[in-house]
Amino acid sequence: MSATPGTTPTTPAAPGASAAPGASAASSASGAPSADPRLGAGTWVVLPTYNERENVREIGAAILASLPGATLLVVDDGSPDGTGDLADAMAAADPRVRVRHRTAKQGLGKAYLDGFGVALDGGATCVVQMDADWSHDPVVLPALIAPVVDGTADLVIGSRYVPGGGTVNWGIIRRLISRGGSTFARVVLGLSPHDLTGGFKAWRAETMRTVPFDGVRAGGYVFQIEMTYRASRFGARVTEIPITFADRRLGQSKMSRRIIVEALFVVVGLRIDELRGRGPARPPHTPGSVR
């Protein structure tokens, strides 16, 4: 397996997943319901990792249990803990798993953009983005992609801030920062979604192709705000479904004060650019190649 940018097949044995809206159920050999093996066909799940060795195998199994027909793309930023090597081993065991190796940690946004290009090049019709730390529950995946598959939405956001959504194991300060950040971005940029800082999303591939990757300034979590802003400005139909966001099970949180400050500056910068007539342009999209 190569350590340079590329993809490799992979997969772990997956436990049964409960069917969510948009999923049809079949019976497993044990009699427990399992997802339709066709569910998620054409969907690529982009999973950025950095030092997620404790999580990547189990979360990968759970993703493929919920969407057995999907392709899982692990985008690893040269994790020193061996996450990339473990992802390669997963890929060697199952052709539904691919691995994109990046040489160094360059920020969540850049990892996602790289993965999006790979997915689009690979013929994805729906592209899902999610965290590898169990904050995003894979059981929700069928419900997340359903509006895209049904043709009723171009971008679906798994939202903590619509009725039925929420967070688990968060302190008051983190709740205020997260909710305040979304509210700030909604007001400054005039956007309608309630959860603009979350990263659990499903995109129609054709919509993603219209969103210019060039010029995306966000290297951290504010990337989520910027991409939704760009999609909205290009007329994407954006909807939200409720999710419960749980704090990561294992490992260290990657949230920092620098990320919060970056978000404030980027949001204000986007609005200033727009007022000056320098809003996002539509350069031709040229996704990267996959090996």
Does a structural domain hold residue 1? no
Q: Where do we find the tokens 């404030």? A: 264
Which of 220, 155, 143 minimizes the C-alpha distance to 193? 155
Q: What is the pLDDT along the chain (291 residues), one digit of tens a residue?
A: 333 334 433 333 333 333 333 333 333 333 445 678 999 999 999 999 999 999 999 999 999 999 999 999 999 999 999 999 999 999 999 999 999 999 988 888 999 999 999 999 999 999 999 999 999 999 999 999 999 999 999 999 999 999 999 998 888 887 888 888 889 999 999 999 999 999 999 999 999 999 888 888 766 678 999 999 999 999 999 999 999 998 755 545 555 566 667 778 889 989 888 888 877 655 444 333 332
Is 192 within 8 Å of 272 (Cβ atoms)?
no
Q: Is residue 3 part of a domain?
A: no
Residue 8 lies in a domain: no
Domain that holds residue 261: 25-275
User: Does 113 map to a domain?
Assistant: yes
Indicate the pTM of the whole model: 0.81
For the CA atoms of 141, 144, 147, 150, the dihedral, rounded to the nearest 10 degrees, stands at 0
Answer yes or no: is 14 within a domain: no
Is 290 domain-assigned?
A: no
Cβ count near 28 (within 10 Å): 12
Is residue 81, in this structure, part of any structural domain at all?
A: yes
Query: Shortest CA distance to 105 belongs to which of 79, 129, 81?
Result: 79
32 within domain boundaries: yes
pLDDT digits (tens, 9 = 90+) for 32-89: 456 789 999 999 999 999 999 999 999 999 999 999 999 999 999 999 999 999 999 9
Give 43's strand partners.
126
Region for residue 109 given its phi and psi (left: phi exceeds 0; alpha: psi -120 to 50; beta: otherwise):
alpha
Look at the chain and report how many structural domains it folds into.
Answer: 1
Q: Give the domain CATH number at 127.
A: 3.90.550.10
